[in-house]
Structure 1
Amino acid sequence: MGLKLYTNAQSRGLVIEWLMIELGAEFEKIELAFYTEMKSESYLKINPFGKVPTLVDGDIVIYEMAAICAYLADKFFDQGLAPALDDPKRGLYYRWLLFAAGPWDAANSDRALKVEIADEQKKHIGYGNFQDTYTALIQGLEQAQPYLCGEQFTAADVFVGSMLFWQLKMAEIESHPAIEKYLDAVKSRKNLKNPQSLFAE
C-alpha cells in the first residue's frame, strides 16, 4: 500500500507535495474540498480536525505538518533531506521544524487575526509574541549557510521556506536582508519550480 496525501490545491498540502518531489517519492494525491469533503464523516475518521494535509502510509496516519515532514525525510533518508541521528545538526533541524510549527505559526496567526493578549496574560503565553518570534527567526536565518542546517538542504527548509514565501506574498511579515538571502538559496532548488509559482511573489 503506497503513500496517500489528502490535500487541497489552496492549502499547506503544497508544502508536502514539494517535499515529495524533493524526495522522489511516489504518492496518491486525494483532493478534498474545504468545508464539505474535509468535514465528511469518512474523512473525520482519518483526521478528526477535518483539515489537510494528512499523510497515510499503510496503517499510519499523520496530520501535523512538522510530523509529516520529519516522517517523510526519515522514510526516504537516503535522499539526504534530514541530518543523521548522530549529526549534531539533527538538533538544529528539529528546532527549526518545531519553531515553525509552534511559536512562529501561532504568533503569526495571532497577528493576522488581530488577537489581543492582555498584558497580565502575556506571561502565560508559551510562544511569546510576534516580535519575539520574528527576532528569533532573523537571528536564526543570519546563521544560515546557506540553509538552516548549513550546506545540507533539509525538510526544515521546505517547511520554513514555504511559510516565508507565503507570508511575504500575503504581506503578513516584513522582509529583511536575512530573509531575502535565505530565500534566494531556497529558490535555487530545481524542484521548486511548481510550488514557486504558487508561493513566490
Structure 2
Amino acid sequence: MPDELIFFTNPMSRGRIVRWMLEETGCAYRAEILGFGAEMKAPGYRAINPMGKVPAILHDGVVVTEAAAICAYLADAFPGAGLAPSPAERGAYYRWMFFAAGPLEAALSNRALGFEVAAERQRMIGYGSVEDAVDTLEYAVSQSKYVAGDRFTAADVYVGSQIGWGLMSGSLEKRPAFESYLKRVGGRPAAIRAREMDDALVAAQKKAAP
C-alpha cells in the first residue's frame, strides 16, 4: 500500500514515545507488536533494525529508528500537524530534543543502574554529571511554555516522555518545574490516547502470560 506507515513497538518500551507522536500527527498507521527476545532478534525484524530493538517505523519504504529521530521525521513527514517550527526557528527545537535523547538519557540511565562517573573523569562523558544534566533539563522547561517556545512541538513529545518516565521510575527527582511541564504536555488528548492504547496492550499481555 503506497505511503503505508508501519510502527514496530512494544508497549513496555520507548515505543510509547513514538505512539504519542503518531497520535499527535493524526496519521494512519499499523502497529506491529513485537515481544522482547526472539521476536525482536529474529532475522525478519533485524532487516528493519539490526539492533533488534524497538521502536522503528517503515514509511513508504523508508526505515527510521531511534525515538528522537522518528519524532523529528514524523514532524516533517506530516507538516499539517504543525509539530515542527519553521527551519529558521529550529534552534531550541533541535537543541532540547537531542539533549534529552543524548546526555539526559545517558545520565538518567546510568543513575538507574547505579553507575556514577568519578569526578575526575566527568570530562570524558557527554553529560558531565547527573546533577548538571538534571539542572539543565529544569532550565529547558522553565524558559517558556514549551521547550521550543510558546507552541507545542515534537520536541515536547520527547522531552515530556523523558520527564514522565523519570518521575514515574524515580530516576528523576520531583521538582515543581518538571511536574508543571509534564502536566501541560501530558494532558494533551493525543498523549492520553497513546497511554490508554499502550496500557491496554500491557494489560492484555499480562492476562495472556502463563
Do they superpose with TM above 0.5? yes
Of 54, 59, 62, which residue of structure 1 is paired with 2:61? 59
1:160 match: 159
Percent of pairs identical after alignment?
44
Encode CA deviations 1:118-147: one digit per residue, 9 max, x unaligned. Answer: 344322112212111001011111112x11
- Classify the secondary structure of the residue corresponding to 2:88: coil
Within a 5 Å distance, the mapping from 1:15-26 to structure 2 comes to 15-26=17-28
Q: Number of paired residues?
A: 196
2:84 match: 82
CA distance in 2, matches of 1:122, 1:83: 34
CA distance in 1, matches of 2:99, 2:160: 13
Q: Over aligned residues, Cα RMSD in angstroms?
A: 1.6
Deviation of the 1:150 alpha carbon: 2.1
Q: Letter of the 1:162 partner, please give it.
A: S
1:179 match: 178
Deviation of the 1:195 alpha carbon: 3.7
Deviation of the 1:116 alpha carbon: 3.0
Gaps of 5+ in 2: 200-210
Deviation of the 1:58 alpha carbon: 2.4
Q: What's the TM-score once normalised by structure 1's chain length?
A: 0.92
2:148 match: 149
CA distance in 2, matches of 1:64, 1:192: 19
Q: Letter of the 1:166 partner, please give it.
A: W
Of 17, 36, 39, which residue of structure 2 is paired with 1:37? 39
2:6 match: 4
2:136 match: 136
Equivalent residues of 1:141, 1:178 under 8 A apart: yes
CA distance in 1, matches of 2:14, 2:26: 19
Gaps of 5+ in 1: none
